[in-house]
Amino acid sequence: MTGVDSATNGSAAAGRVAQLNPAAIAVYAFVAILAAGIVFGAFMTPGFLTINNFSAILTSAAFVGIIAVGSTLIMLSGSLFSISLGTTTAVTAILFMFMLHSGVAAAAAVTLLAGTAIFAIQGALVGLIGANPIIVTIGAGAIQEGVIGWLSPGDITPPPGAGIDFLARTIFGLPFSVYVFLGLALVLDLCMRHTRFGLELYLLGENQPAAHAAGLPVALLTTAAFAVAGFCVAVAGVLIAGFAQNVNLQVAGTYTFDAIAAILVGGSAVTGGWGSVGRTVIGALIIATITDMLLLVGASTGMQIFVKGLIVTVVVVLLHLARRERRSP
């Protein structure tokens, strides 16, 4: 046994150097992608370096970003991610539209509560009985799509004079949703850094058996992480309803992938315990910037998806390599 110890001591120096790797490589990777993208975009793309375009980037980052910052809690707590982010976004958007005849405030309250509850149930399944989060969220997504498709096929439009125009309003040149995104991100980031709940989520994501043995409330924490993500998804649903004016199950398009991509490109560990909400904000901005540039140069939808897929893959592989190097001694 002591042999193992001395071996560890011997490579301690190497371990310390390698320890810089995940953070370092991840940060270098963002900076490189972002810088290269902006420089390329600035010089090659007519209309990139304009105030209007930056506002457009932030706007497109906002919806995905709101979903992504909430889902970051799921990933940091070690439960991977939800596969039904887009579905629940659409479901909550539809629910909000449907409830509008009872007034905006009531509709928003019901919608936020429903989004939170839908996710909390899935979190409880994952936390209490150790169900696989991917499978639970795929199943839950199918159930939601089925129920909505059954109850209300087709588009839903708001009743006349519903008073939801404010959701799409622009304040100081930026849409309402951008402020909501940044506000939520700030609150969640502070919460993860400075509250007992946040720290316990990190510990749970770092080592689930250890968290269990140490008496942390594993099931409750997992449920809470999902609940927060569900709340954020419902917020995105409400904002999209206000923005789109008519909603259906397809309204959230590729949001599931985009939100997961934002978290991964931000560099948080897929397996949990390491990363931050702030990183996800950066990830969402990177994805939005690149999407914007591809739009400006007139890339096809296929090209956009291809580039996003490529970036996610490269970042995930880089992070994996960095961590493996650090673990190897």
Closer Cβ to another protein, 20 or 106, answer by number? 20
Smallest gap from residue 263 Cβ to another protein (A): 18
Tell me if 154 contacts another protein by CB under 8 A.
no
Cβ(95)–Cβ(295) under 8 Å?
no
Tell me if 4 contacts another protein by CB under 8 A.
yes
Give the x-and-dash track for 185-224 against another protein (CB under 8 A).
Answer: ---------xxxx-xx-xx--xx-xxxxxxxxx-------
Q: Which amino acid is at 196?
A: R
Q: Which amino acid is at 287?
A: I
Smallest gap from residue 275 Cβ to another protein (A): 11
Tell me if 21 contacts another protein by CB under 8 A.
no
Smallest gap from residue 318 Cβ to another protein (A): 18
Tell me if 129 contacts another protein by CB under 8 A.
no
Encode 133-142: b = buried (16+ Cβ within 10 Å), e = exposed: beebbeebbe
Tell me if 36 contacts another protein by CB under 8 A.
no
Tell me if 8 contacts another protein by CB under 8 A.
yes
Q: Which amino acid is at 53?
A: N
Closer Cβ to another protein, 1 or 105, answer by number? 1
Cβ(57)–Cβ(286) under 8 Å?
no
Encode 83-101: b = buried (16+ Cβ within 10 Å), e = exposed: bbbbbbbbbbbbbbbbbbe
Inter-CA distances, 182 with 67, 159, 237, 277, Å: 12, 30, 16, 11
Smallest gap from residue 197 Cβ to another protein (A): 6
Smallest gap from residue 120 Cβ to another protein (A): 19
Residue of 120, 274, 279, 294 that binds another protein (CB under 8 A): 274
Could you give the CA distance from residue 179 to residue 104 in angstroms, rounded to a whole number? 19
Tell me if 250 contacts another protein by CB under 8 A.
no
Encode 307-329: b = buried (16+ Cβ within 10 Å), e = exposed: bbeebbeebeebbeebbebbeee
Q: What does the binding site for another protein look like in residue numbers (CB under 8 A)?
A: 1-10, 12, 15-16, 19, 194-197, 199-200, 202-203, 206-207, 209-217, 273-274
